[in-house]
Structure 1
Amino acid sequence: MKNLKTLFAMVLVICTAASSCKKDEHSLNENMSTTGALSLPANMASIKLTPANASAVQQFKWTAATPEDGGLVLYEVAFDKEGGNFSNPVFKVISDGGGIQAQVTISHKDLTKIAALCGINSSSTGKVSWTVIASKASNKKTGQESRTLQLERPAGFADVPTDLYLTGSATESGDDVSKALRFKKLEDGVYELYTSLKAGTYQLTDKPTAGGRKFYAEGTLIKEGASTITVNGDTKVYYLKYDFNVASVLEVTEIQSMGLYMSAYSSEIGQLNYTANGTWQSGAIPVVFYPFSWGRDERYKFALHTAAGIKYMGSSNVNNVSPVGQAASYFYLNAVSNDQWNNTYKFDPAADNKSVKATVSLSATGPYTHSIITQ
């Protein structure tokens, strides 16, 4: 009997709770006004895009929608080809603040992508349309007003490759694209590589697979396509540098030799020979610290002789300490000036009146660095 009373009480509580919940139910009001006037940028505004400038942005602003119940409204800015009705916009982006603010900030890099999606080619000017889409729950309304932007694209790719590889019969890895040589990425869209090229052909790709995007150089311009670049003559070492932001070949320079430069003598005391994969090695190089009145000087750096002149690689530190006990970063290589004394390294004191073997690695797979082994 006691159990029956307890069960009855529990059922009564559940029914009371259900009745209470039912009384609190109300329908969701999804009604809202359409977005008001677009305010920024002005209709037919002209924007010269600079996608390589990370700080270049454009703000879009509009009047907020008014929901009947004062609830939350979310916004998207939609872009379409000039004259499009936004039924299938080419690009949409949520507004600032996770979609709740009546404005959005869009980078020139993304606007360049939008221009490309709307059929505006590089080095060309064209028009795109934009409007605002407001939504409250399942109710979505496209603004009654749209505006037109005139966008001027620079030379370059709207979608720069995330990575860059070198492949082809003229390269160190041959025609097998799965073994393509990876470039070092300096910044978005900018890549460099130290490598050798022999007679044959090569091309650039964004993936070491057959399905990657392909690129080639025509003069100083980078173009997308399956064409290849032809190399004639003997095998030579090159420095390659490309900027996809402006579709430009920045540098293709032959590296003629690399020397170990000793500051006190203001000359190179030995040469390194290129092996492969951006690496140079020397044979035994005699080292004699220069005897000044205050002591023996042991400073050095490296000199790259190129068809365009001599480039020096040395330390990021203007003044250096002994390498003994230093971290691996001590030996990292950086482009430095031709100053006789600054940004040099120091030999291990044990190298004085001995021979050393120098190795320089300018491989894209790690930091540029070097080693000195006393023999």
Structure 2
Amino acid sequence: MKNFKKLFAMVLVVCTAAISCKKDEKALNENISPIGGLTLPANQASIKLTPSNASASQQFKWTAATPEDGGLILYEVAFDKEGGNFTNPVFKVVSDGGGVQAQVTISHKDLTKIAALCGINSSSTGKVNWTVIASKASSKKVGQESRSLQLERPAGFAEVPTDLYLTGSATESGDDVTKGIKFKKLEDGVYELYTSLKAGTYQLTDKQTAAGRKFYADGTLLKEGTSAITVTGGTKVYYLKYDFNVASVVEVSEIQSVGLYMSAYASEIGQLSYTSGGTWQSGVIPVVFYQFSWGRDERYKFALHTSAGIKYMGSSNVNNVSPVGQAASYFYLNAVTNDQWNNTYKFNPSADNKSIKATVNLGASGPYTHNIVTQ
């Protein structure tokens, strides 16, 4: 009987507590006051987009909404085609501060994507609409005001490829796309490659799969599509450079020869032959340092003879030191001027009156570099 009374008392306490908690519950207030006016950019503002400029951006601002209970409101800026009603926006972006600030900064690169989604083609001008969506818990409210924005797209792709590969029967890897040759990425949308091409066809693609986006050159313009580029004649070595930011073929030039240039002689003392994979290898080259009154000079760099002219590859250091004991970066190759003395390397002192073999590696898998081996 005593245990029964204790059990009854405990049940009574639990029930009382539950009733008490129920009385303290409050309904979640999801009401949001209307978003204030849009303030920036002005209605009908015109923006000339420069997506290749990483720092180019546009700020969007509006007057914050007010929650009835002082809770947190999150914001998204929504974009739609001209005449759209935002029931299915083509693009949305969360505001600054993780969605809590009444402003957001959008890059020209993203605005170019938005323009493309709204049907504005490259090298064209068109209009998009934008507004702000406020949300609190499950409640969302589209702003009462929307504005029009005129966007001018440059030539180029709204979505530049993250990677770029060369594939096709004219290439060193053949037409197996899974073995496509990767380009070196210089910056977003800009790629270059040193490779050989033979009679056949080739394409550019952003993936080593059949599903990748395909691109081709039409004169000096880059276009998306499955058309192939045809190569005729014998095997030749080429330098290819493309800029997808402006849909441009920057350069396609034949590399006719690569020479080892010695500064003191102001001439090339030996030649390198192309092998594959962006690599050139010399035979045995005799090296004799030049005798000046102050000592013997050992400076050198490389000269690439192309159909577009002579290009020099040398050191990032204007005045260099001996290679003995230096890191691998000492031998990295960079585009340099035709200055006779600056941005050169120095032979190992042991190479004087000996012979060397030189290797130049302009493959895309790592830093451009070279190697000198004394025979």
Deviates more, 1:18-27 or 1:119-128: 18-27
Distance 1:2 1:313, change over 3 A: farther
Aligned with 2:208: secondary structure?
Answer: coil
**C-alpha distance in 1, partners of 2:340/2:16?**
91
1:79-125 CA-partner distances (Å, limit 9, x unpaired) = 01111111110000011111011111111100100000001100111
Say yes or no: does 1:207 pair with 2:192: no
Deviations 1:307-351 (A, max 9, x none): 111111011111111111111111100001111111111111111
The Cα shift of 1:15 comes to 5.7
> 2:362 aligns to what?
362
The answer for the alignment partner of 2:289 in structure 1 is 289
Question: 1:366 is matched by which residue type in structure 2?
Answer: G
Match of 2:169 in 1: 169
Q: Give the aligned residue type for 1:38.
A: L
Please state how far the C-alpha of 1:183 moved relative to its aligned partner: 0.2
Residue 202 of structure 1 aligns to a residue in which SS? strand
User: Which residues of 2 match residues 64-75 of structure 1 at below 5 A?
Assistant: 64-75=64-75
Q: How does 1:16-31 map to 2 (within 5 A)?
A: 18=18, 21-31=21-31
Structure 1 residues 16 and 252, CA gap change in structure 2 (3 angstroms) = same
| 1:210-359 correspondence to structure 2 within 5 Å | 210-359=210-359
SS at match of 2:357: strand
Q: In structure 1, give the amino acid aligned to 2:144.
A: Q
State the Cα distance separating 1:22 from its structure 2 match.
Answer: 3.3
Task: Name the structure 1 match of 2:106.
Answer: 106
The one-character-per-residue Cα deviations of 1:213-259 (angstroms, maximum 9, x if unpaired) are 00000000000000011111111111000000000000001111000
Deviation per CA, 1:243-281, whole angstroms, max 9, x where unpaired?
A: 000000000011110000111111110000000000000
Q: Which residue of 1 aligns with 2:45?
A: 45
What is the TM-score normalised by the length of structure 1? 0.96
Provide the residue aligned with 1:135 in structure 2: 135
The superposition leaves residues 106-157 of structure 1 with CA deviations (integer Å, 9 ceiling, x where unpaired) of: 1110010000000110011111111110011111001111111111111000
Deviation at residue 51 of structure 1 after TM alignment: 0.6
SS in 2 for 1:329: helix
Once the two structures are TM-superposed, the CA of residue 21 in structure 1 deviates from its matched residue by 3.6
C-alpha distance 71-269 of structure 1, shift in aligned 2 (>3 A): same
Query: Residue deviations 1:345-366, cap 9 Å, x none?
Result: 1111111111000000000011
What's the CA shift for 1:46?
Answer: 1.0
| 1:150 partner SS | strand
Question: Relative to structure 1, is the Cα distance of residues 288 and 148 closer, same or farther in structure 2, using a 3 angstrom cutoff?
Answer: same
Q: Which residues of structure 2 form unaligned runs of 5+?
A: none
2:98 partner SS? coil
* Shift in alpha-carbon separation, 1:299–1:29, aligned structure 2, 3 A: same
The DSSP-based 3-state class of the residue aligned with 2:51 is coil
Please give the alpha-carbon distance, in whole angstroms, between the structure 2 residues aligned to 1:5 and 1:369.
Answer: 90
Runs of 4+ in 1 over 6 A off after TM superposition: 1-13
TM-score, structure 2 as length reference: 0.96
- CA distance in 2 between counterparts of 1:374 and 1:38 reads 71
Distance change (3 Å), C-alpha of 1:7 and 1:325: farther
What is the aligned-residue identity percentage? 86
Structure 1 residue matching 2:99: 3-state secondary structure: coil
| Matched residue, 1:55 | 55
> C-alpha separation between the residues in 2 aligned to 1:6 and 1:262?
103
Query: Compared with structure 1, are the counterparts of its residues 176 and 9 closer, same or farther at alpha carbon in structure 2 (3 Å cutoff)?
Result: same
RMSD: 1.8
1:353–1:133 CA distance, 2 compared to 1 (3 A): same
Corresponding residue SS for 2:27: coil
Letter in 2 for 1:103: Q
| Per-residue Cα deviation, 1:159-182 (whole angstroms, up to 9, x for no partner) | 000000001111111111111100
Query: Match for 2:157: what amino acid?
Result: F
- The verdict on how the C-alpha distance between 1:322 and 1:15 changes in structure 2, with shifts beyond 3 A counting, is farther
Alpha-carbon deviations, 1:59-95, whole Å to 9, x = none? 1111111111111111001001111111110000011
Equivalent residues, number: 375
Secondary structure, counterpart of 2:22 in structure 1: helix
Other-structure match for 2:179 = 179
1:84-123 paired onto structure 2 within 5 Å: 84-123=84-123
